[in-house]
Chain A
Amino acid sequence: MQAVREPQPLVELKGISKHFGEGERRVDALRHITLSVSSGTVVGLLGPSGSGKTTLLNAIGAVIEPSEGWMKLDGEVVYDNRWLRRDLRRLRLEKIGFIFQTHNLLPFLDATDNVAVVHYLAGLRREESLKRAAELLNYLQVGHRKHAMPAQLSGGEAQRVAIARALANRPRIILADEPTAALDSVRAGIVMDLLRTLAVEQQAAVIAVTHDEKIFDRFDRIFRLRDGRVEDDGDAART
C-alpha cells in the first residue's frame, strides 16, 4: 500500500506580531498571527485598508523583521523571538518570488533581461540565464515581446513579464500584492489561473493580498485580517 504524502507546510507562522513606534505612538500592525500555508495551495489575504495585509506579506517575504513570534519558510526557521536569520537577501533570492500591484519592471531592461536579472543576481551564466528567461516568457505567452521595453508593454503583458521574473528563481513561495489590481476581469482570471497552475506544477505556495472580489473563488484558502489579527481562516468556498 502506498502512503499518501501530506503536503508540506511551506509557510508557518506562530504568534507573529509586528509593531511600529513605541509608547503613545506605538502601532500594532500584526497581533499574534498564526497560520500555515502548504505547497500547491493558493491563499488570499483579505481585509480593509490598515488591517495589516501588506505588513504580513512583508514579514513572510523577509522584508521586515517581526517584533515577536516564530516563522519558518520552506523548512528553515527565519525568525524565532528576536532571533532573525542573517542572510535574508539570499533567502528572498532563492526561495521567494514577488509579484507587485504595479508590475515594477526595471524600466531600463527589456522583457528578457527583466527576467534574467534574477539569474544574474544568482550568478547564473548569461547564456543559460537568457535561455531560461525565454522559456519562462514563452510559457507565460509573452515570448513574442521578449525584446520590448516595459514602457512598450500593455498592462497584461507587463504583469505576465513580472510573473515570469517572480518565477525565475523557481521559488517555493510566491507573494503577490494585488496582482490583478491593474487588470480587467478576464485578464485577472487568467493571471489567477496561471498562479494556481504554477502552485500545483512547482509545488509552491502562493499568497496573494487582494481586494478584488472577482478572484475570491480562485483561492484555496482565505485569511481575513482586521486590526492586525486573523479574523477568519478558512476555505474560500465559505467566503
Chain B
Amino acid sequence: MNLAWRDIRHKLGRFLMTCLGLSLLLAVVVTMAGIYRGQTADALALVEAVKADLWVVEAGTHGPFAESSRIPGDTREMVARINGVAEAGSVTLQNVQLERRGRQLRLQVVGYEPGRPGGPVRLVAGRAITRSHYELIADRRTGLTVGETLRLGHKGHDYTVVGVTSGIVTLSGDSIVYMSLKDAQGLQFEQAPPAARREAARGAQRTPTDLVNAVVARLAPHYQAAEVAEVIRRWKHLSVLTDEEQKQLLTQTVIQRARRQLGLFMSVLTVVSAVIIALIVYMLTMEKIREIATLKLIGAPERTIIGLILQQALLMGVIGFVIGTVLVYTFNGYFPRRIVMLPEDIAMLFGVVVLVCLVASLLGVRAALRVDPAEALRG
C-alpha cells in the first residue's frame, strides 16, 4: 500500500496544478541552462562553420571577433604560400541593420571568396554563391528563403538569396548572411554619395577598399597549427590564432561575463525553486498533521511517515521537471536566442531537482516527525 500515491490520488487535481506551477518555474531553470549552452554555441557557430585551422589578423590584435582587425587583401596570397597551408581565404565581417517588412533586422555580413575557406560549409537549402556579385547566403533565422531579395548598401543593390544555412549566428544572436568578398568590401568601405563628394572636396585620398578583417587558413594533413602559426608570428606584421585559441578566446573572455551572469541567475532560480518546493511540501505536510498523528498513534514507523512526504516531494519534482522540460522543448523555436539542451545537462538538472526535492522536504519531514501522536486524540 503506497500511502503517498493514495494521498495524491485523493487530491489529484490540486496535486497536478501544483506540479504545473512548479513545472513553469523549473522550465525557467531548464531554459537558463539552455541559454547558457546556447550562448557558447552561438559564439562558436561562425568559427565552427568556417572550419579553419588558423585565423590570421592584424598585428597586436585578437581579431576579428574579440577586437577589430584590418589587413591588406593580398595577405591571403602570402599565407597561402606558407609551407603546410593547404588553402586560405579572406573574410570580412560587418554589422548591418535594416528594416524589412516593418521589422528591424540585424545581420552580420560575412564576405568570403567563393571556393576558398571562409564561407559556410553546409547549406540546408539552395546552393553556394557562384556569381561574383549580388548573391547571398542567409541563415534561416533571418526569415529569408531561397529566391528572395534583400536591398543592401548605399547604392541599394538587391541581393538574391541563393542558399540557406542553419544555426549560424553571432555572439549577440544576430543572424549571419554570406556574400562574395567583393560585394562585402564594397558594402563596408564604399561611402554614401554625399560623403564621397565631401571627401573629394577636402582633397582626401581615397580609402583603399582591398582590406579584409582576417585570413583563414586550412592546413595540409600532418601539419600542426601551432608550428605554422609560429612561422606567421615571425613576420611581426600579423597576428595569428589557431582555431583552438580563437574558440578559447570567444568562450572564456568574450562571453564569459554573460555566461557567469546566466550561471548565477540559474543558481538563484534553483535556490528559489528549492524554497518553493520546501514551502509546498511543508504546507502539504501541515495539512496532513492529523492523518500523520493518527498513523503514528496506530503504530506507523517513522520511515512510513518520511516515505509519505519524500515520495510526494520527489514525484512533484519529477513531474514538474518533466513537464517543464517538455515545455521548453516544445517552445524552443520561439525563443529569441538559441536554447541548447544537451542530454548531459538535462540529466544533471534532473539530478539537481531530485536533490533539491530531498533537501526541500526536510522541513516537512521535520514537522511530521515532531507531530505528537496524541494530536490524533484531541477533539
Q: A residues within 8 Å of B by Cβ? A: 54, 57-58, 61, 63-64, 89-90, 92-94, 98, 100-102, 104, 106-109, 113, 116-118, 120-122, 126, 149, 165, 169, 177-178, 181
CA A94 to CA B298, docked complex, whole Å: 9
Cβ-closest 7 pairs across A and B: A93-B299, A108-B10, A108-B7, A120-B1, A92-B299, A108-B6, A63-B374
B304 in contact (CB, < 8 A): yes
> Contact at A98–B291, with CB atoms within 8 Å?
no
Which of A54, A89, A94 has most B Cβ within 10 Å?
A89
- Measured as residues with beta carbon below 8 angstroms from the partner, the interface class of chain B is 20 to 34
CA A109 to CA B297, docked complex, whole Å: 17
CB < 8 Å neighbour of B376 from A93, A100, A113: A100
B338 in contact (CB, < 8 A): no
Whole-angstrom distance between the Cβ of B344 and the nearest chain A Cβ: 38
CA A104 to CA B377, docked complex, whole Å: 9
CB < 8 Å neighbour of A121 from B11, B298, B377: B298
Whole-angstrom distance between the Cβ of B83 and the nearest chain A Cβ: 79
B51 in contact (CB, < 8 A): no
With A102-B379, A108-B9, A108-B10: A90-B299 Cβ-Cβ less than 8 Å? yes
CA A163 to CA B297, docked complex, whole Å: 14
Which of B1, B301, B377 has most A Cβ within 10 Å?
B377
Q: Is the interface of B mostly helix, strand, loop or mixed?
A: helix
CA A120 to CA B10, docked complex, whole Å: 19
B304 proximity list for chain A (CB < 8 A) = 121
Whole-angstrom distance between the Cβ of B1 and the nearest chain A Cβ: 4
B108 in contact (CB, < 8 A): no
> Contact at B298–A107, with CB atoms within 8 Å?
no
B76 in contact (CB, < 8 A): no
CB < 8 Å neighbour of A118 from B6, B299, B373: B299
Whole-angstrom distance between the Cβ of B211 and the nearest chain A Cβ: 76
Within 8 A of A (CB), among B117-157: none
Whole-angstrom distance between the Cβ of A93 and the nearest chain B Cβ: 3
B362 in contact (CB, < 8 A): no
B247 in contact (CB, < 8 A): no
28 A–B contacts from the bound complex (CB under 8 Å): A54-B377, A54-B378, A63-B297, A63-B373, A63-B374, A63-B377, A89-B296, A92-B297, A92-B298, A92-B373, A93-B299, A98-B298, A98-B377, A100-B294, A100-B376, A100-B377, A101-B377, A106-B3, A106-B291, A109-B6, A113-B6, A116-B1, A117-B298, A118-B298, A118-B299, A121-B301, A177-B379, A181-B379
CA A54 to CA B299, docked complex, whole Å: 19
